[in-house]
Amino acid sequence: MKFSNDFTIVQEALGAYWEECQGGDVRVINQTDISHIMEVLELGKWCEHGGLQGQNLKAFLGQFLGYHTRLHHSGYLGHQCAAPNPMAALGSVVNSFTNNVPSIYEMGPASVAIELFLINWMLDKVGWEPIPVGSDDRFAKLSHGSGVLVNGGSIANLTALITARTRMHPDVWQQGNSEGLAILLPSESHYSLTKSAGILGIGKKAVHLLEVDGQGAIVPDKLPQLYQKVQAAGQQPFVIVANACNTAVGIYDPLDEIADFCQEHELWFHVDGAHGASALLSEKHRHKLKGAVRADSLVWDAHKLLQVPSLCAALLVKNQTYLERAMPVEDNASYLFHDKKQPGMDTLHRTIETTKPGLGERLFFVLGAMGEQSMANFIDRQYQLAMEAYRYLNNLDDFVCPVEPQSNILCFRYTGSPVAPLVLREKILASGEFYLTTTLFKGVRYLRLVFMSPNTKLEHIKRLVDSVRSLAKITS
């Protein structure tokens, strides 16, 4: 097999795609009938006969990329997926090409080195003690932090809850769940946490909702009430979850106060920072995570605010003990684990996955190209833009925002017409100019903007306002 020129063809096609996104003249989203796309791309033909290389590949890519949702587009205000930095994408390419698997050291020493470095880099940002590197008595000292890169914040949240449960019930791996385990979390939490309760086999009945204020943030004074109520009902909470920040409206919970309560009652304190933990890099916004250092575990997605393609999520723990014991695999993986003295580190026993790609490469290649200060500046820019958009919308008579943004997420409602937000969204998407989502907040549906693209500016939000007004007029 010859090393192929097709790499150059892909590079050129992506370069053109990138340029088009910068210009913003193309559609941000191009949803047509799925059978039409399958037909245009002639998927069946290529599969049957092959030949999708060279000029064929070039022509194919032209059409294929045309049906992509463009995350780099200035009108992309949709889900919390990054508009990846090309360098981060190259990290994915290098790892896909070499297929090194950092689950075990011998399957990718360089990959594992990157992962270990990044985990320690993140631990340091939280204020936790890093995994000692290069010392022989690594396992003698137990109080340092630990972590692992996994395929997404949802899996990271699940892993955190598995770890928390292991502390309360060290024999759960052998014995299964004991009766009455409970989780306390705010109503604004990501659904992956409730899903985790189902997967853990403790059930949705074990999930109890903490009271939140008008912005959707946990009210610390109300913690004792729910805690006692759950206990009185015969359940034992083993973890409290707080958001930094929450998904729907991007509000940070008061972590320090929640840490006080968890400390007093010896509860595992988990911070879901999937979206907003990246603010730890920012001088300006780090204070929003005050108290995170007192948590037991924290989830941090790099594929949201760090310009990294999906997926690259970190689960970090302050103390490695329970993560190291949470998912023992020695029993039935004798082909992997035997008495070996190795110069590196395996992470297989910390993950739900067995084989996993070099997730660290995606983050490291962009971080290494930009440096962490530029990354911090990017986060500041996106947070600042949400604030400017808020001030602009809030000053208009026919727009309302339910909360002042604390991150790069902004919700609003158009009050100039009775057209429902879901109908408006459909019209906006059909126009191809903007891509945005909606959310329910306090029982009311809002249009929701997430500022992910480095190309979005305030002028685009002004254009969105015009667009909303005229689309609402046509519709009503």
Ligand X SMILES: *Cc1c(COP(=O)(O)O)cnc(C)c1O
Task: Tell me which residues touch ligand X (CB under 6 A).
Answer: 80, 152-154, 157, 190, 192, 243, 246-247, 272, 274-275, 301, 311, 313
Task: Report the nearest approach of ligand X to the CB of residue 304 (Å).
Answer: 6
Instruction: Report residue 93 as tokens.
Output: 């390419």
- In this structure, which amino acid lies at residue 60? F
Residue 235 or 297: the one with the smaller Cβ distance to ligand X is: 297
β-strand partners of 413: 400
Q: What minimum distance in Å lies between the beta carbon of 313 and ligand X?
A: 5
Q: Which amino acid is at 440?
A: L
Instruction: Report the residue number, 296 or 433, with the smaller CB distance to ligand X.
Output: 296
CB closer to ligand X out of 159 and 247: 247
Angle at which helices 458-475 and 421-431 pack, to 10 degrees? 110
Tokens of 104: 């075990």
- Between 160 and 223, name the residue whose CB sits nearer to ligand X: 160
Is the Cβ of residue 28 or residue 158 nearer to ligand X in the bound state? 158
Minimum distance, C-beta of residue 216 to ligand X, in the bound complex (Å): 12
Kindly state the smallest distance separating residue 299's Cβ from ligand X, in Å.
7
Task: Supply the minimum distance, in Å, between the C-beta of residue 189 and ligand X.
Answer: 7
Considering beta carbons, is residue 230 or 248 the nearer one to ligand X?
Answer: 248
Report the distance separating Cα 374 and Cα 449, nearest Å. 23
Residue nearest to ligand X (CB): 153
Taking the complex as a whole, the smallest distance from the CB of residue 276 to ligand X amounts, in Å, to 7
Please say which residue, 235 or 307, places its beta carbon nearer to ligand X. 307
CB of 4 to ligand X, least distance (A): 32
Closest to ligand X by CB, 167 or 190? 190
Nearest approach, Cβ of residue 460 and ligand X (Å): 23
Q: Which token pair is 72?
A: 């780099």
Q: Which of 213, 262, 235 is nearest to 442 (CA)?
A: 213
Give the residue with the Cβ less far from ligand X, 80 or 351.
80
Owner of token pair 């891509």:
435
Provide, rounded to whole angstroms, the least separation between the CB of residue 314 and ligand X: 11
Please state the closest distance from residue 153 (CB atom) to ligand X, in A.
3
Nearest to 259 by CA among 290, 235, 233: 290
Residue among 190 and 285 whose Cβ is closer to ligand X: 190
The two tokens of residue 244 are 């930094």
The label of the residue with tokens 């409290």 reads 240
